[in-house]
Structure 1
Amino acid sequence: MRRRLVLALGLLAVLVALAGCASPFGGGGPDDARLNQNATYEWDTNATTTYDVARGNFTGVIGVENQSYVQLYQRSELGTDEPLDVASLRFRYPDNGTVVAPANRSNFYVNATNSRLNVTLPAAGGQVAFTANRPNAKRFAIPMYLDSAHSVEVVLPPQARVGVPLLSKVSPGGSTSRVLEGSDRMLVRWQSADRGPIVTRYYLARDLLLFGGIGGILALVGVGGALYYLRQIRVLERRREEIGLDVETETDEFDDDDPPPGMR
């Protein structure tokens, strides 16, 4: 009995340790040094939520109205929710535009659970900004952090494009996209997104040239093969005629007016 109790307690300890390792914070809270790292954000945006996506990370600026907290999370590879591991956390006051870090305000702090990063803001309203890492893949996906319908903008990495159905996907529907003037970056905008997640699967502009070149080569190979096939058919027809295998004549031997053989 005592041995079973020891084994049960040991198993419980292992499960707790594994649960801690599954969290991006290793079972503890977010690192204060990362939260207070220096960063510069573009606060004057044209949308309630704006994401600036780079190759290996992204920044988010979220306008919060009438609430003093926000929950940040992401979808793990196992399909479960986990806290978003953020850095350079900032809050901008709505009245005077003052920007503060968690180290500047005792009422600006975060608390991590197994599935959420709860960010308590120093005031209701304003904007919260953060930086987070992302895989260097041609896909950006993030949940909706605000409950009500609002405008969302995603600025894709340089040379990234959406628009070709087989190479890209944008969700939810109802978005528009354009290349920013004087830039090689594309902006995807939802005027009023009311459900998530926000997903942009994109391709690079050079991919179109690559696929276009491959398509052109395949087309040339196909045309060349067809011409070669027709040429071989012509050669075989001439050989048949030369050796007398062409039995087709203008009139059939039984189609004339003469009687059958033996009755002439």
Structure 2
Amino acid sequence: MNRRLLALVALVGLVTLSGCMGGLGGGPTSPDRLDEPPAQPYDWDAEDEVHITVTSNVTYRAVYDLSAVNDSIRLSRPGFLGTDQPLTISSLRYRYPNGTTINGSDFGAHGGDVRTQNNHLVIEPPGEDGRLAYSGESTPKQFTHPVAVEGGNYTVVLPENREASIPLFGRIAPSAESKTVVDGRLTIEWTEITRDRLSVRFYLPRDVQLFGGLVIGLLGVAVAGGTYYRREIRKLKERREEMGLNVDIERDDDEGPPPGMR
């Protein structure tokens, strides 16, 4: 076994081991991570089965109506070499119908469970009713999230002044049934999602303006360069004609002797 193969095997082993140890230390089920307070209060009164709020500081907050959940919520994200990895979350909360809220590390004491299993983060709520919420990290101008409630209705609220309508800059997958702007925030709704993942690519209007300005600038440079090239070619032809060298400089087929030697 050569060194390259050994290095590849070692790398795969480290990735596998890191996935298996996801529940230890600072992994996706760390009590400290699950119990830390959310950056902003959860929208417990959202009427959707799944309501996700994306923030401008590259984070999100998700709230589930547990009446639409079958036993557990399974969450994963694409990982190394095409394998799935458990989704890393924080600030896990369960809210009983009477308004009592417990932290994620208390799920076990109330009949629930939080664990990693088969490359998924598995959340079993303490009750069949009520609501469950957690926070997570996103990426700039792109939000992707697993669909844990198959056939459920999802709502994603983007940060203020974001848009997703121009194909080159924005994309919503799968296609949404409704897009509205509420208080300056684009709200995207799916009445029924059958895919295993949803994705929204969004942008600021100034991004389009900057890109348009860049394209116009490049076109201007190209036009100016072409004009300058043609002008120089014309000057060169005129100069050769004045010298009696009436030669087509755009044609070089090496046919016949040079001018004046025929």
1:172 and 1:42 map into 2 onto residues whose CA distance is 24
Deviates more, 1:161-170 or 1:226-235: 226-235
User: Which blocks of at least 5 consecutive residues in structure 1 are unaligned?
Assistant: 1-13, 246-264
2:207 and 2:85 map into 1 onto residues whose CA distance is 33
Shift in alpha-carbon separation, 1:42–1:76, aligned structure 2, 3 A:
same
Shift in alpha-carbon separation, 1:85–1:78, aligned structure 2, 3 A:
same
**TM-score, normalised relative to structure 2:** 0.71
Aligned equivalent of 1:253: none
1:18 and 1:199 map into 2 onto residues whose CA distance is 25
1:15 and 1:207 map into 2 onto residues whose CA distance is 39
1:21 and 1:228 map into 2 onto residues whose CA distance is 60
Answer whether contact 1:24 1:85 (CA < 8 A) is retained.
no
Answer whether contact 1:111 1:119 (CA < 8 A) is retained.
yes
Aligned equivalent of 1:53: 54
Aligned equivalent of 2:35: 36
Report the identity percentage. 31
**Within 5 A, what are the aligned runs for 1:2-151?**
19-23=16-20, 25=22, 30-39=29-38, 40-54=41-55, 55-65=57-67, 67-94=70-97, 96-102=98-104, 103=106, 105-134=109-138, 136-147=139-150, 149-151=151-153
Structure of larger gyration radius: 1
Secondary structure at the residue paired with 2:153?
strand
Answer whether contact 2:23 2:115 (CA < 8 A) is retained.
no
1:243 and 1:74 map into 2 onto residues whose CA distance is 73
Aligned equivalent of 1:258: none
Shift in alpha-carbon separation, 1:18–1:162, aligned structure 2, 3 A:
closer
Aligned equivalent of 1:205: 205
**Alignment length (residue pairs):** 228
1:152 alignment partner AA: Y
2:84 alignment partner AA: D
1:27 and 1:79 map into 2 onto residues whose CA distance is 23
Secondary structure at the residue paired with 1:216?
helix
Deviation at residue 225 of structure 1 after TM alignment: 5.1
2:162 alignment partner AA: A
Runs of 4 or more, structure 1, over 4 Å off, are 14-18, 26-29, 222-245
Deviations along 1:169-209, whole A, 9 cap, x unmatched?
A: 2111244333332x3x3222212222231011223322111
1:116 and 1:233 map into 2 onto residues whose CA distance is 66
1:113 alignment partner AA: Q
